[in-house]
Amino acid sequence: MKTVPEYFGSMVFDDRVMKARLPEGVYRSLRRTMDQGERLDLSVANAVAEAMKDWAVERGATHFTHWFQPMTGVTAEKHDSFISPAPDGRVILEFSGKELIRGEPDASSFPSGGLRATFEARGYTAWDPTSYAFIKDRTLCIPTAFCSYGGEALDKKTPLLRSMEALNRQAMRVLRLLGDTETTCVRTSVGPEQEYFLIDRALYEKRKDLIYTGRTLFGARPPKGQELDDHYFGAIKPRVAAYMAELNEELWKLGILAKTEHNEVAPAQHELAPIYTATNIATDHNQLTMEIMQKVAAKHGLVCLLHEKPFDGVNGSGKHNNWSMATDTGVNLLSPGEKPFENTRFLLFLSAVIQAVDDYQDLLRLSVATAGNDHRLGANEAPPAVVSIFLGDELTAVLQAIERGEDYTAAAGAVMKLGVHALPRFPKDSTDRNRTSPFAFTGNKFEFRMLGSSNSIACANMMLNSAVAESLRQYADRLEGAADAENEVRQILRDVITAHKRILFNGNGYDAAWLEEAARRGLSNLPTTPDCMPRLLDEKNVEMLTRHKVFSPAELHSRCDIMLENYCKSVEIEAVTMSDMARKEILPAVEAFAAATAEAAGKKKALAPELTLGYETGLVRRLSGLTDRMAEAADALDAAMAALPQGDIIARSEAVRDEILPRMADLRSAADQAELATSQEHWPFPTYGDLLFSVR
């Protein structure tokens, strides 16, 4: 049996494989393309393609695909075999540099937001050599960008790569002005913590809402939920442990640095966290992680739910995006060091993040906006929809001293003493963690906690990279025009702290008083997708994103339309599913139970005429009233769906929010009350108790 180091990355055409299989000149040329963006010569591409094909075939691959990330929220792939006809009637296996560099999938059926007409089908995929190719399901997968015939980005990777280049350009300007002559590149790194639920497949298949929408649209709370906090970090159940073991093995084969696994707060909820890597690679890896989570679950008779709120009344699932900046020389630009007050470089880059989050809080909010995440944000289990930054007491005190122009004296480092001689003493961290903060500093990185569990991390990181690049651009412009760079840095720090301290909040983000305080500070509160998504087209946002060439104006308009259309479609599918389940499953079941109760009461009365039958009569009346409520609510929901405006996607999304969601809530309320009053044998599908506590 192979050990983990022996099989780790065995399905990846990584640097080890390239060194071993490519001629030295080809390898060096490819590395210059990967590290410096140098144009790739076709002869080099041909040599790489041949080596890739041979390596993949040796591992059982028969096809190749350009693996890309369209605006659907999932990945896409079209498989082509390596075979080519030979003159003698047999076949040979071929793969050329042209096939490696460029593919041509049909672009007509992918979301384009009006960038392309349906009859305009041509699209292109372009190899991203900075992300290693890998083998999945006997297919060589080549990570690519995806664009239209006119060159517009139709995917999430292209703008992400542009944002990484934008941040690198501006960070390098600042570092040179600070006297750094060694760094040649600044990269952002990300480690996305992934939360998910595991439920039994046999139960899943009995619920149309889970099948069609990924969440339960009906369901009364079980007698026990997460009240005892006994699931969090609890012993992992054998069936789940077996799943996690195979999941780790499959991820490690693909070079994905799965590190931490544990039970989360809600019953049946779990988390996987990786070691963080370069942002575009982390994005690829997270998309693969979600896909493989679901595939491995099926092998164990389970279903992995990635919806942000699959169960009402228990915690939903998020994805914590741990983000940092580092130089190619190994310096973490967000590491404060032992004396952060004296670390000018750290303070300047910290200030860039603070300003970016304040200036573009709306972009960060909309980067995580989906119909599913709207249920989770602000639900006292996740950060509120108001964006703020947690720095902790020490860094906050450092910034306050800078603003006042005073010296800062750090307190002596505290040592944890646990009162038991056998237990070790260790240094106490300079700050606590704040799980209610949307954007928290955690030692040498920021943890952006607002992402939903099914989100691609590309959207949040492209906005974060771009906003920080804009802050750094402004600092570089000021430093280049300054007579005294050292004094100018101090003035930049004071100006940023004074102008943007409103975004700093170290308190309880769940407290209702914070929302009032945030409003007084002028922070935006955008609770739903229709509230925040149109802000993408605000003048300041369009100006910044086009200035750094992350998006064109047309690409921004298309993305606003696509995201609002996805929101509408998601909720509308849920509404139709609710109506269908209520009419075809719940109402007949409740009526059957009411009829059975009435029939039983009649038989009792016939045997004992003196009985009053108060329980049975009251139950039948209650069930009858609930069926009337459900029927009326279903009718109202259907009518609201029929009345949705056509054409204007913003107006439609607002109508979905204001007209459809409240009627869905009315229908659910009646149905959930009926569930509590209906016998187990009559209820038509598995309950919350069945779903949350069945996996052992």
Q: Tell me, yes or no, whether 544 and 575 share the same domain.
A: no
- Same domain for 167 and 149: no
Q: Which among 386, 383, 385, 517 is positioned nearest to 437, based on CA atoms?
A: 383
27 and 82 share one domain: yes
Phi, psi of 487 (to 5 degrees): -65, -35
pLDDT one-digit tens code per residue, 283-312: 999 999 999 999 999 999 999 999 999 999
Q: Would you say residue 610 has pLDDT above 60?
A: yes
Please indicate whether residue 382 or residue 501 has the higher confidence score (pLDDT).
501
pLDDT of residue 6 exceeding 90, the answer is: yes
pLDDT band with cut points at 50, 70 and 90 for residue 417: low
In terms of Cα–Cα distance, which of 375, 529, 465 is closest to 166? 465
Task: Kindly state whether residue 560 falls inside one of the protein's structural domains.
Answer: no
Side chain identity, residue 295: K
Average pLDDT over residues 612-631: 93
The last residue of a domain, from among 518, 551, 584 = 551
Is residue 662 a part of any domain in this protein? yes
Proportion of the chain above pLDDT 90, given as a percent:
81
Positive/negative CA dihedral, 586, 591, 596, 600 = positive
Q: Which of 120-124, 432-436, 586-590 has the highest average model confidence (pLDDT)?
A: 586-590
> Residue 128 sits in which domain range?
4-154
The DSSP H or E segment spanning 302 is strand 302-305
Domain boundary among 504, 519, 551: 551
Q: How confident is the model at residue 428 (pLDDT cuts 50, 70, 90)?
A: low
Q: Is residue 663 part of a domain?
A: yes
Residues 6 or more apart in contact with residue 461 via CB below 8 angstroms:
160, 163, 188, 190, 279, 283, 321, 323
What integer pLDDT is reported at residue 111 of this predicted model? Answer: 84
* Spatial CB neighbours of 201, under 8 Å, sequence gap ≥ 6: 297, 298, 301, 302, 303
576 confidence band (pLDDT: 50, 70, 90): very high
- 114 and 204 part of one domain: no
CA distance 2 to 16: 18
Together in a domain, 53 and 119: yes
Spatial contact of 308 and 372, defined as CB atoms under 8 Å apart = yes
Report if residue 559 sits inside a domain: no
pLDDT at 86: 87
Query: Does 408 have pLDDT greater than 80?
Result: no
Q: State the pTM of this model.
A: 0.95
132 & 182 share domain: no
My answer on whether 168 and 139 are in the same domain is no
Domain count, the chain: 3
Sign of CA dihedral 679, 681, 687, 692: positive
Residues 585 and 542 in one domain: no
DSSP classification of residue 503: G
How far is it, in rounded angstroms, from Cα 154 to Cα 134? 23
Closest CA to 604 of 616, 594, 593: 616
The verdict on residue 545 lying in a domain is yes
Determine contact, residues 587/594, Cβ cutoff 8 Å.
no
Q: How many CA atoms lie within 13 A of 325 on its CB side?
A: 30
- CB within 8 A of 49, min separation 6: which ones? 95, 96, 97, 99, 100
| Residue finishing a domain among 122, 154, 186 | 154
CATH number at residue 607: 1.20.120.1560
CATH of residue 536: 3.30.590.10
The reply to whether 581 and 464 lie within a common domain is: no
pLDDT of 340:
86
Distances from the Cα of 612 to the Cα of 524, 608, 679, angstroms: 60, 9, 22
pLDDT for position 110: 87
Is position 558 within any domain?
no
The pLDDT, as a whole number, for residue 1 is 80
Tell me, yes or no, whether 350 lies in a domain.
yes
Task: Give the three-state DSSP class for 391.
Answer: coil
Mean pLDDT (the chain) is 93
Contacts of 536 (CB under 8 A, 6+ apart): 363, 366, 556, 559, 560, 563
Predicted local confidence at residue 415, as pLDDT: 63
Q: Phi, psi (5° rounding) for residue 601?
A: -65, -40
Confirm whether 9 is domain-assigned.
yes
Mean pLDDT for 367-383 is 92
- Give, to the nearest 10 degrees, the angle between helix 157-177 and helix 344-359: 140
Distance between CA atoms of 204 and 155, rounded to whole angstroms? 31
Q: Which CATH number goes with the domain that contains 85?
A: 3.10.20.70
Is 471 in the same domain as 620?
Answer: no
- pLDDT band at 144, cuts 50/70/90? very high
The pLDDT tens digits for 335-361 are: 998 888 889 999 999 999 999 999 999
- The answer to whether residues 430 and 341 belong to one domain is yes
- E strand or H helix at 691, and its extent? helix 688-693
Residue 351 shares a structural domain with residue 448: yes
- Intra-chain end-to-end CA distance of the chain, in Å: 28
Model pLDDT, residue 412: 53
What average pLDDT does the segment 195-224 reach? 97
Q: Residue 640 has which token pair? A: 């609201």
What is the per-residue pLDDT for 254?
A: 98
Q: Dump strand ranges (E) for 423-565.
A: 426-427, 439-441, 446-448
Rounded to whole angstroms, the Cα distance separating 38 from 30 reads 8
